[in-house]
Amino acid sequence: MAEIQTTKKGRILTGDRPTGKLHLGHYVGSLINRVRLQDEYDTFLIIADVQALTTNFEEPEKLARDVREVALDYLAAGIDPEKSTIFVQSLVPEIAELTIFYSMIITVNTLRHNPTIKSEAAQRGYTDMTYGFLGYPVSQAADITFCKANLVPVGEDQLPHIELTRKLVRRFNSLYGPVLVEPEALVGEVPRLVGLDGAAKMSKSLDNAINLSDPPEEVERRVKNAVTDPARIRATDPGHPDICTVFAYHTAFNKPVIPEIEESCKKGAIGCVACKKRLTATLNELLEPMRERRARYEANPKLVDEILLAGTARARAVAKETMAQVREAMKINYFPW
């Protein structure tokens, strides 16, 4: 089971930190690509619980629930456990082992200059940071390389981490021999979805998100409160779709209506209330099949656990093979017999 499936184009590894429910930003940024590509690529999805601890180390008890929430979101979004391998990071100790070896060949300054680390640290108001937080991109490189993934579907904010992974792979291979595979990032058509409040990014911590598991009334309520063109007072005032959050969502989720909505908004022919109603309908249509699938899996928590355990067993088998090659290349397989 562990060998690379030759009928596929290659291997994908990507994943998420289990810090709560996934939202529409995750969906358009990366999840949609994973669902689409799972037929063509041997797909590994990591639920990165160790990485979640880099910021949530004070509440480890939340992880048991959040790991399952992410698994449910994957399955609800259309990830097929027959095609994709969903697994839990902390249950693959080879990833931690690989992280230690990589940490020898990357400098602290390289990590300090990582723009995503910098902006996350600023957002959290860190004056100093833990060794684990500064180093999580190294651990992420281990996530990606233990299974020799060549494609990593991610949101735009993850690009610096993929760059770092590529750098580590080149360094490792030139020092010890060609064992690792240099991966490429694949960013979704909508690399960054604005928040409902108009903030640069949809994010759970900013409370400006629509979760994939939100019920229809919640979607309606949230869209109703979304920020539109502030200069538009009456429905007949000409609008400015280019600065409107709701228009950005039409663009992301219902391409065919873009020209029509753009024109009628500019002319003042469609008001924000009507425009929001249409968006609510579009989003609920997208989310309804996900709600149905989620309900089915929620009713069978044992099945979800089995999927995670089977996925983790497969990931471990692959990880063991790579670690044997890594040790051999580094000449630290002292007792190969």
The nearest distance, CB 334 to ligand TRP, in angstroms, is 31
Residue 79 has a CB neighbour count (10 Å cut-off) of 21
Q: 3-state DSSP: the chain helix, strand, coil percent, rounded to 5? A: 60, 10, 35
Q: How far is the CB of 161 from ligand TRP (least distance, A)?
A: 6
**Nearest residue to 149 (alpha-carbon basis) of 309, 4, 32:** 4
* Residue 15 touches ligand TRP, criterion: CB under 6 A: yes
Only segment of 8-16, 62-70, 220-228, 319-327 that touches ligand TRP (CB under 6 A): 8-16
Judge contact between 118 and 79, C-beta under 8 A: no
Distance CA 262, CA 249 (A): 12
Contact with ligand TRP (CB under 6 A) among 51, 114, 213, 251? 51
Determine the Cα–Cα distance for residues 74 and 105; give it in Å rounded to an integer.
Answer: 34
**Contact flag: residue 168 with ligand TRP (CB under 6 A):** no
Q: Which value, in Å, is the radius of gyration of the alpha carbons in the chain?
A: 22
The H or E element that residue 76 is part of is helix 63-77
**How many residues sit in the footprint of ligand TRP (CB under 6 A)?**
14
Of positions 84, 158, 282, 312, contacts ligand TRP by CB under 6 A: 158
Kindly state whether residue 29 participates in binding ligand TRP, applying the rule CB under 6 A.
no
Residue 13 has a CB neighbour count (10 Å cut-off) of 25
Under rule CB under 6 A, residue 66 binds ligand TRP: no
What angle separates helix 63-77 from helix 49-56, to the nearest 10 degrees? 130
Interacting residue with ligand TRP among 11, 16, 133, 210 (CB under 6 A): 16
Distance in Å, CB of 315 to ligand TRP, minimum: 12
Residue pair 230/238 in contact by the 8 Å Cβ criterion:
no
- For ligand TRP, which residue has the nearest CB? 48
Q: Which C-beta is closer to ligand TRP: that of 50 or that of 252?
A: 50
Q: Does 50 bind ligand TRP (CB under 6 A)?
A: no
CA of residue 326 relative to chain centroid, distance: 27
Q: Does 144 bind ligand TRP (CB under 6 A)?
A: yes
Site membership for ligand TRP, residue 17 (CB under 6 A) = yes
Binding interface with ligand TRP (CB under 6 A): 13-17, 46, 48, 51, 140, 143-144, 152, 154, 158
